[in-house]
Amino acid sequence: MDQRIADLLRLLELEQLEVNLFRGESRDIGSPQVFGGQVLGQALSAASATVEGRIVHSLHAYFLRRGDCNAPIVYQVDRSLDGHSFSNRRVVAIQHGAPIFNMAASFQIVEQGFDHQIQMPQVPRPETLLDSSRPPPELLERLPQRVRRFLEQPRPFEFRIVRPLDDLHPGAGHLSREVWFRAVSRLPDEEKLHRSLLAYVSDYFLLDTATLPHGGASLSGTLVMASIDHAMWFHRPLRVDDWLLYAVESPSASGARGFARAGVFGLDGRLVASTAQEGLVRTKKGS
């Protein structure tokens, strides 16, 4: 197994301290604070560890404080409901004695019912596109140091952007984008693991899309960006080690907040998940 994905699996493998109490390590991936996807994935792992015979179908989370990359995070799980078909869990992530994140997640037994979905966007297949996991060297060297540090980090996922943009050139951008992604090596056949990994990777590209119409602000170093909330719905079985299409759009930005939503599709066109996020998008003072 590739070392990058092996390290991510270790990150999602929490230490159980007590009943309903777990601890996870932190990683510095080049961002100013703990990566939001890490906290999402670990919180979902903690909640899933308290549920038997059911799989997560939705989660709703709020990021409260910046996480410290140099300290572990403790996850406290409240078993709110174990009903006939559904279970509900509330998770609070604690660091340095204060909550930094909270989440509610719902789990369901496997059932059959009505089935319909929207169509996947018509885009080129991933094998026809270039690897976009890192910007080209000529672009990297022109970026601010803190942005470059984030983009240069090795990642456990491969990305292929359908419509690459040079974010350093201002001008009217797009309201949407599509990105193919998959884990860099094969993974175990465990649905709850793949859903936790999807929660992790879903924090890439989502809020950034709200800056596209404003011509390159996300990589210019002039913005302060931070996730406020994050929601996910898991519709169908999925594998993150197979190609998935992240079709993201930003319907609105206002009040120093950007909003984005997305569908996640398999190569066969199945809609496997949906996500939505609102975050702080504020120009630095003096910029």
Tokens of 279: 């975050």
Concerning whether 38 is annotated as a catalytic residue, the answer is no
Answer whether 53's CB lies under 8 Å from 107's CB.
Answer: no
Percentage of residues of the chain with pLDDT beyond 70: 87
Q: What is the pLDDT of residue 167?
A: 47
Which entry of 38, 48, 227, 274 is annotated as an active-site residue? 227
Which residue in the list 167, 202, 203, 218 is annotated as catalytic? 203
Kindly name the residue from 42, 45, 218, 277 that is annotated as catalytic. Answer: 277
Residue 285 has pLDDT above 90, yes or no: no
Please report the pLDDT score of residue 166 as a whole number: 54
pLDDT value at residue 165: 61
Per-residue pLDDT of 15-73, as tens digits, reads 999 999 999 999 887 777 899 999 999 999 999 999 999 999 999 999 999 999 999 99
Lookup result for tokens 């793949």: 194
Region of 20 on the Ramachandran plot (φ > 0 left; ψ -120 to 50 alpha; else beta): left
- pTM of the full structure: 0.90
The rounded Cα 145 to chain-centroid distance in angstroms is 23
Instruction: Tell me the pairing of strands 86-95 and 73-82.
Output: antiparallel
The answer to whether residue 277 is catalytic is yes
Domain extents in the chain: 3-109+125-283
Determine the Cα–Cα distance for residues 6 and 111; give it in Å rounded to an integer. Answer: 32
Average pLDDT over residues 60-89: 96
Determine the average pLDDT of the residues in 81-93: 98
Confidence class of residue 136 from pLDDT cuts 50, 70 and 90? low
Whole-number Å distance between alpha carbons of 130 and 180: 11
Cα–Cα distance measured from residue 42 to residue 91, given in angstroms and rounded to the nearest whole number: 10
Residues 119-140: what's their mean pLDDT? 83
- Which tokens belong to 223? 């913005």
Question: How would CATH label the architecture of 3-109+125-283?
Answer: Beta Barrel (2.40)
Whether 227 is a known active-site residue: answer yes
